[in-house]
């Protein structure tokens, strides 16, 4: 194997090529990105970068010179238009590149509001890449009115930034509560209260009927008939795996690009990692949208491309920064039937299925997060009563 091409110059792609070199791969590596800038961190985009607290260069995962020093050919601003699995080639415009092995780290794309309800009007934004954030940055002026559609982590983080910059903020969530898909009612309640303390108007169980305006947003109409004035709108309604290239190439899709436990797609010469890939998990398939997964899965794929033969068995972790609160999550709460609430100097919510510990939401409680993560990695379930007792030293749970 002499030529490896990686399509997608985000966190996963950058991690994969760096790992290949650190493992001693001496062949040709080409990293192709559709954006005109080197791989960068996405989480600070809509927070520190948008707030003006982080310069563009600080977003970069590595200096651009790193790729040249490592012998990685960086092709930026050049979207791939086709993959030919039979010939093992990829097409960029009128250029064709050959590969021995190909990795897809194409990430995800934001869901957009339909044009039929005003989603194509000027002043309607999504939050995903650098261009999105640069486009919306001038909107963030004190006293302006923003309506955020979606009460998940994307929408709530956008709301926190807008409130900190002195805007009037309304969040619309069609479900009965914010974070319903990803968190317990206890976590939703705590995050709702946090936003309300900062003046955010959260409307749950309320859908968007349409966005009004001739060429630019001037307001929104809600499913209950209410009309709100708005200077701009942010759609925080989730993301979709970027699978168009894989689909056109005939690869198997199942909630993303389907890979086996080692990261190989339905084509033996093509691999995938990060937001775009779904992998075997507990008898089904799972796709994780997180920085941790992008790094860990990409590095494992790099090892397996070189013959390691390792299965991916993650203990997922996530985080969300809202105002001065850091919400840290370890594990996956899928299938929980009980939430144990621990309060004291900080707050954490521990998810159980029967007696089995599944996950923890730590709200400004790094110790609970650290202990919970280590317990999950060890496959251990702490006694729920001990967890709930504020007198219990959390570290003692690791020794029990």
Q: What is the pLDDT of residue 121?
A: 98
Q: What is the pLDDT of residue 109?
A: 96
Distance separating alpha carbons of residues 133 and 121, to the nearest angstrom: 17
Q: Are residues 261 and 208 in the same domain?
A: no
Please report whether residue 182 resides in a domain: yes
Q: Are residues 23 and 117 in the same domain?
A: no
Q: How large is the angle between the packed helices 185-197 and 153-164, nearest 10 degrees?
A: 20
* Of 186, 205, 235, the domain-final residue: 235
Q: Strand pairing of 277-281 and 284-286?
A: antiparallel
Q: What is the pLDDT of residue 47?
A: 87
Q: What is the pLDDT of residue 120?
A: 97
Q: Are residues 279 and 381 in the same domain?
A: no
Mean pLDDT by groups of 10 residues along the chain of 400 residues: 96 98 98 97 90 92 95 96 97 96 97 97 96 95 97 95 96 97 96 98 97 98 96 96 98 98 98 98 93 97 98 93 94 96 94 97 97 96 96 91
Q: Are residues 117 and 230 in the same domain?
A: yes
* Of 189, 206, 235, the domain-final residue: 235
Q: Are residues 67 and 79 in the same domain?
A: yes
Q: Are residues 388 and 344 in the same domain?
A: yes
Alpha helices in 335-392 (DSSP H): 366-378, 384-388
The enclosing domain of 340 has a CATH number of 3.30.390.30
Q: What is the pLDDT of residue 297?
A: 98
Q: What is the pLDDT of residue 95?
A: 96
Q: What is the pLDDT of residues 177-199, one digit of tens each?
A: 999 999 999 999 999 999 999 99
Please report whether residue 315 resides in a domain: no
Q: Are residues 191 and 334 in the same domain?
A: no
SS3 7: strand
Q: What is the pLDDT of residues 232-283, one digit of tens each?
A: 999 999 999 999 999 999 999 999 999 999 999 999 999 999 999 999 998 8
Q: Are residues 147 and 212 in the same domain?
A: yes
The enclosing domain of 62 has a CATH number of 3.50.50.60
Q: Are residues 222 and 251 in the same domain?
A: no
Please report whether residue 317 resides in a domain: no
Please report whether residue 394 resides in a domain: yes
Cβ atoms of 33 and 13 within 8 Å: the answer is: yes
Range of the domain at 243: 3-109+239-305
Q: Are residues 158 and 13 in the same domain?
A: no
Closest CA to 377 of 314, 335, 329, 312: 314
Please report whether residue 316 resides in a domain: no
CB half-sphere exposure, 66, CA atoms < 13 A: 15
Q: Are residues 124 and 219 in the same domain?
A: yes
Please report whether residue 194 resides in a domain: yes
* Of 181, 203, 235, the domain-final residue: 235
Q: What is the pLDDT of residue 31?
A: 98
Please report whether residue 250 resides in a domain: yes
Please give the tally of structural domains in the chain: 3
Q: Strand pairing of 124-126 and 232-235?
A: parallel
Please report whether residue 313 resides in a domain: no
Q: What is the pLDDT of residue 11?
A: 97
Continuous segment of H or E residues that includes residue 326: strand 325-331
Q: Are residues 231 and 243 in the same domain?
A: no
């Amino acid at each position: 194997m002499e030529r490896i091409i990686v399509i997608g110059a985000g966190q996963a792609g950058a991690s994969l090529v760096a790992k290949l070199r650190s493992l001693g791969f001496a062949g040709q590596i080409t990293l192709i990105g559709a954006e005109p800038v080197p791989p960068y961190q996405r989480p600070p985009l809509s927070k520190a970068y948008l707030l003006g607290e982080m310069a563009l260069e600080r977003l970069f995962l590595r200096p651009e010179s790193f790729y040249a020093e490592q012998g990685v050919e960086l092709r930026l601003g050049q979207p791939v238009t086709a993959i030919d699995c039979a010939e093992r080639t990829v097409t960029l415009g009128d250029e064709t590149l050959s590969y021995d092995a190909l990795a897809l780290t194409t990430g995800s794309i934001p869901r957009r509001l339909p044009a039929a309800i005003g989603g194509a009007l000027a002043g309607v934004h999504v939050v995903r890449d650098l261009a999105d954030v640069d486009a919306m940055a001038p909107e963030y002026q004190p006293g302006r009115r923003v309506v955020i559609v979606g009460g998940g982590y994307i929408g709530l983080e956008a709301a926190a930034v807008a409130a900190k910059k002195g805007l009037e903020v309304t969040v619309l969530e069609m479900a009965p509560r914010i974070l319903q898909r990803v968190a317990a009612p206890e976590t939703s309640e705590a995050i709702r209260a946090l936003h309300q303390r900062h003046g955010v108007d959260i409307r749950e169980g309320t859908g968007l009927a349409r966005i009004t305006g001739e060429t630019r947003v001037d307001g929104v109409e809600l499913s209950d008939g209410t009309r709100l004035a708005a200077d701009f709108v942010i759609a925080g309604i989730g993301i979709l795996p970027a699978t168009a290239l894989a689909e056109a190439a005939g690869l198997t899709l199942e909630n993303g690009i389907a890979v086996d436990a080692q990261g190989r797609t339905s084509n033996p010469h093509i691999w995938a990692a990060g937001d775009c890939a779904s992998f075997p998990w507990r008898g089904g398939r799972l796709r994780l949208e997180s920085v941790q997964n992008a790094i860990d899965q990409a590095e494992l794929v790099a090892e397996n491309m070189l013959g390691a033969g390792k299965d991916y068995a993650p203990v997922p972790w996530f985080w969300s920064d809202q105002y001065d609160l850091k919400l840290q999550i370890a594990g996956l709460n899928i299938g929980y039937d009980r939430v144990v609430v621990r309060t004291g100097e900080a707050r954490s919510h521990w998810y159980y299925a029967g007696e089995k510990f599944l996950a923890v939401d730590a709200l400004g409680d790094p110790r609970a997060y650290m202990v919970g993560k280590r317990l999950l990695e060890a496959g251990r379930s702490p006694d729920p009563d001990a967890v709930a007792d504020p007198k219990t030293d959390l570290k003692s749970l690791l020794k029990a």
